[in-house]
Amino acid sequence: MNRNRTLHFPALTLLATFSLACSATPVEEAEPTPAPEASEAEALTAAPATPMWFLDEGMAQPESAYLHGESGALFVSLIDGEPGGRDGNGHIARLTPEGEVVDAMWATGFNAPKGLRAHDGTLWVADLDEVIGIDIETAEVTSRIAVEGAEFLNDVATGPDGTVYVSDSNGLKIYAIADGEASVFAEGDVVEAPNGVLVDGDRLLVGSMRQAAAPDSAPGQLFALDLASGEKTVLSNEPIGTIDGIELDGQGGYILTNVMAGEVVHVSGAGDVRVIMNFGDSVAADHAYDSERGHVIVPHLFQSSLGAYDVSGLLD
CATH number for the domain spanning 229: value is 2.120.10.30
Is 4 inside a domain boundary? no
Question: pLDDT-based confidence at 44, cuts 50/70/90?
Answer: very low
Is 5 inside a domain boundary? no
Lowest-confidence pick of 4-13, 75-84, 136-145, 255-264:
4-13
Query: How much of the chain, in percent, has pLDDT values that exceed 70?
Result: 84
Range of the domain at 282: 11-310
Look up the pTM and report it: 0.87
> 201-227: per-residue pLDDT in tens?
999 999 999 999 888 899 999 999 999
Is 75 inside a domain boundary? yes
The pLDDT of residue 40 is above 50: no
| DSSP assignment string, 80-142 | -S-TT---S-EEEEEE-TTS-EEEEEEEEEESSEEEEEEETTEEEEEEBTEEEEEETTT--EE
Instruction: Work out the average pLDDT over 301-316.
Output: 95
Report pLDDT for 48: 53
Q: Considering its fold, how many domains does the chain have in total?
A: 1
- Residue of 10, 15, 7, 11 whose CA lies nearest to 301: 15
Is 159 inside a domain boundary? yes
Report pLDDT for 50: 76
Report pLDDT for 41: 35
The pLDDT of residue 160 is above 70: yes
The pLDDT of residue 24 is above 80: no
Question: pLDDT-based confidence at 34, cuts 50/70/90?
Answer: very low
The pLDDT of residue 234 is above 90: yes
Is 2 inside a domain boundary? no
Report the phi/psi class of residue 62: left, alpha or beta, with left for phi > 0 and alpha for psi in -120 to 50: beta
The pLDDT of residue 46 is above 80: no
The pLDDT of residue 8 is above 60: no
List of long-range contacts for 125-134, beta carbons under 8 Å, 24+ apart: 125/77, 125/92, 125/156, 126/153, 126/154, 126/155, 126/156, 126/166, 126/167, 127/90, 127/153, 128/84, 128/86, 128/152, 128/153, 129/153, 131/156, 131/164, 131/166, 131/177, 131/182, 134/92, 134/107
Contact 119, 71 (CB under 8 A): no
> 117-138: per-residue pLDDT in tens?
999 999 999 999 999 999 999 9
Contact 239, 263 (CB under 8 A): no
Is 148 inside a domain boundary? yes
Is 316 inside a domain boundary? no
Instruction: Work out the average pLDDT over 167-193.
Output: 97
Is 6 inside a domain boundary? no
Report pLDDT for 215: 84
